[in-house]
């Protein structure tokens, strides 16, 4: 069960939005195996629990719970982004600054983070994550999108396969 705490306290549960620099690209789903391996490698070295996740072509949303003595999600994201960038072919447009620093032009530099406050906040964010492919027009039904923890939730009996978010979630934007 996630532990609800402030962002500066170890062991917290957090919602994240992480996006590609060029939002029109489909790199995340085109390179899903590379992205999964990046997550796997970082989780091996720096454990955390993925409570919910959805991977869209150009961005992803997830909820993580960190270990009790750990508040460092920034290192984890830096390593995931770097591992993914190393794992795919170069070819993206680079700004002069990125060319000077040798930085890849894959990811937006920052990510959006929100500390989950309580069970209702967690439910809202998990529902939002799972409904996101429908919201963005990538699937007609939540169950149709393959890159989502929704399927895990169905297996555990949390959602029925024909679940659809309520109007309170459909109108929310956490991006």
- Fold of the domain built from segment(s) 13-170: Alpha-Beta Plaits (3.30.70)
Say what the pTM is. 0.86
Active-site pick, 4, 46, 131, 147: 147
Buried b (16+ CB within 10 A) or exposed e, 143-172: bebebbbbbebbeeeebeeebebeeebeee
pLDDT in tens, the chain (175 residues): 454 444 567 899 999 999 998 878 899 999 999 999 999 999 999 999 999 999 999 999 999 999 998 999 999 999 999 999 999 877 656 556 555 555 656 899 889 999 999 999 999 999 999 999 999 999 999 999 999 999 999 999 999 999 986 555 655 665 6
According to DSSP H, which parts of the chain are helical? 27-30, 32-45, 73-87, 96-101, 119-135, 150-155, 167-170
- 147 belongs to the catalytic site: yes
**Domain-by-domain residue ranges, the chain?**
13-170
């Amino acid at each position: 069960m996630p532990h609800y705490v402030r962002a500066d306290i170890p062991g917290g549960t957090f919602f994240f939005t992480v996006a590609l620099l060029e939002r029109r690209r489909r790199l995340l789903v085109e390179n899903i195996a590379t992205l999964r391996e990046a997550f796997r490698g970082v989780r091996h070295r720096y454990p955390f629990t993925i409570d919910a996740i959805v991977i869209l072509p150009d961005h992803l949303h997830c909820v993580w719970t960190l270990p009790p003595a750990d508040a460092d999600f920034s290192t984890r994201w830096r390593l995931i982004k770097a591992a993914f960038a190393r794992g795919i072919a170069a070819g993206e447009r680079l700004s002069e600054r990125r060319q000077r620093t040798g930085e890849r032009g894959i990811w937006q530099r920052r990510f959006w983070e929100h500390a989950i406050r309580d069970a209702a906040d967690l439910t809202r964010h998990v529902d939002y994550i799972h409904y996101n492919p429908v919201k963005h027009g990538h699937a007609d039904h939540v169950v149709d999108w393959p890159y989502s923890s929704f399927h895990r939730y169905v297996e555990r009996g949390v959602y029925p396969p024909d679940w659809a978010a309520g109007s309170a979630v459909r109108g929310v934007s956490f991006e």
